[in-house]
């Protein structure tokens, strides 16, 4: 996990690099932050949904049920290997 200070330094460094080369550099940085948030929480939200299912049903979900849980927990899909 990255500290707020380290994140701030990284973001300002990115902004400095992009400022001269890209007209709307803020959109690039915002997009990266958005993807970082999705990446950081995707697995946690999936595991939390599975734990809720187990608690409610007293069993592990089937593969089909697991896909349904993931679909309900996530508005955005991240393919394996893209985290």
Please say if the pLDDT value at position 76 is more than 80: no
Supply the mean pLDDT for the chain. Answer: 83
Please say if the pLDDT value at position 58 is more than 70: yes
- The rounded distance, in Å, linking the Cα atoms of 9 and 65 is 42
Mean pLDDT along residues 62-74: 88
pLDDT of 22: 64
């Amino acid at each position: 996990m990255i500290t707020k200070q380290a994140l701030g330094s990284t973001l300002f460094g990115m902004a400095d690099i992009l400022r001269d080369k890209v007209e709307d550099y803020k959109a690039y940085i915002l997009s990266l932050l958005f993807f970082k948030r999705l990446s950081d929480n995707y697995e946690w939200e999936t595991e939390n949904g599975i734990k809720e299912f187990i608690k409610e049903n007293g069993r592990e979900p089937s593969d089909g049920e697991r896909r349904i849980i993931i679909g309900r927990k996530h508005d955005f899909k991240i393919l394996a290997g893209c985290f």
